[in-house]
């Protein structure tokens, strides 16, 4: 999948680079044709007489090169469009993703140029949606290649067997700890397009349902999760992997199983399958900016207290 923004940025870099080279050649040629006593100010004046459509891009060339390199191989901001990663990430957060943790990649087709690492359980990963690579998703890494992942819809808890071997019984599951669920600070509005609001306990409206909050400790990474009270999803709605029972999946090689922290409001690997390694874009490491916002609505304020490391 070609990254359109990266392509546009690369074209801008090439155009500004050619403009810069032309301006440099004009300056150099003009300097050679003048007597040695001519002031540098007059030479600069000639260069500045280039038309604006050449001179302005030439001036931007160094900046555009830096932006291209940082965006391609360093860090890039991403906006959180929905509540699927609540309470860790909220709609309106802008997260900073490092793009080198999972390998230095060609910015145009995401092919790995230099392998630097792989996702770990508990990472928050940004990736292109396998069923529509024009969309970016952000979820938590739950299952690694070879893992057997089991999700119990009744308890809404995970069981993971690490690197099960084909046609052999799995050994003891990984240790996953869940805290007791308690009424949290968030409520969800009813309707086809739910909104999530902070409400003091007991002040929720008739159309709002208070969500339960707890923690899940996976591979030493403790993060908060949200659940709807008394909500059970049928395993028949999940993605069915051939040869597996409903609600059970074996992660293929070079692929990952992803889930959102807002467990009843996340369209994730339970419903559409696995994320191939080549779809990975980066690892979310910090919140750089945050706006008070609901999905599909205009921002109503700022949440500057959310800026910082992701917890």
**Which residues participate in catalysis according to the annotation?**
84, 139
Q: Is 255 helix (H, G, I), strand (E, B) or coil?
A: strand
- Per-residue CA distances from 30 to 25, 44, 59, 139 (Å): 8, 10, 19, 57
Structure tokens at 80: 């959180």
DSSP state of 252: P
- Per-residue CA distances from 61 to 14, 17, 21, 76, 254 (Å): 9, 6, 10, 20, 38
Structure tokens at 293: 């916002």
As to burial, measured by CB atoms within 10 angstroms (0-12 exposed, 13-18 middle, 19+ buried), residue 260 is buried
Of 276, 234, 240, 244, the closest CA to residue 258 belongs to 276
Report the alpha-carbon distance of residue 84 to residue 258 in Å, rounded.
12
Structure tokens at 69: 């390199």
DSSP string, 182-219: EEEEEEEE-SSS--EEE--TT---TTEEEEEEEEEEET
Q: What are phi and psi of 270, to 5 degrees?
A: -60, -25
């Amino acid at each position: 999948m070609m990254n359109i923004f990266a392509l546009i940025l690369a074209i801008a870099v090439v155009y500004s680079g050619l403009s810069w080279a032309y301006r440099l050649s004009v300056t150099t040629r003009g300097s050679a044709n003048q007597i040695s006593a001519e002031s540098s100010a007059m030479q600069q004046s000639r260069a500045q007489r280039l038309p604006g459509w050449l001179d302005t891009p030439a001036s931007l060339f160094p900046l555009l090169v830096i932006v291209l390199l940082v965006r391609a191989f360093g860090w890039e901001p991403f906006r959180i469009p929905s509540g699927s990663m609540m309470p860790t990430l909220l709609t309106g957060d802008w997260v900073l993703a490092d793009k080198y943790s999972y390998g230095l990649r060609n910015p145009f087709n995401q092919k790995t140029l230099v392998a630097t690492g792989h996702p770990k359980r508990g990472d928050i990963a940004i990736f292109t949606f396998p069923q529509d690579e024009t969309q970016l998703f952000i979820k938590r890494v739950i299952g690694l290649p070879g893992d057997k992942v089991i999700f119990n819809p009744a308890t809404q808890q995970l069981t993971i067997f690490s690197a099960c071997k084909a046609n052999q019984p799995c050994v003891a599951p990984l240790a996953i700890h869940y805290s007791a669920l308690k009424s949290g600070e968030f409520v969800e509005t009813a309707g086809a397009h739910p909104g999530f609001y902070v409400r003091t306990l007991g002040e929720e409206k008739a159309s709002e349902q208070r969500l339960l909050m707890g923690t899940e400790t996976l591979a030493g990474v403790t993060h908060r999760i949200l659940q709807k009270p008394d909500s059970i999803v049928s395993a028949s709605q999940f993605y069915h992997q051939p040869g597996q029972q409903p609600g059970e999946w074996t992660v293929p090689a070079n692929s990952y199983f992803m889930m959102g922290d807002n467990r009843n409001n996340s369209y994730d690997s339970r419903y559409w399958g696995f994320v191939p390694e080549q779809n990975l874009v980066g690892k979310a490491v910090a919140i750089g900016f945050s706006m008070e916002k609901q999905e599909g609505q205009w921002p109503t304020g700022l949440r500057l207290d959310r800026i910082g490391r992701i917890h």
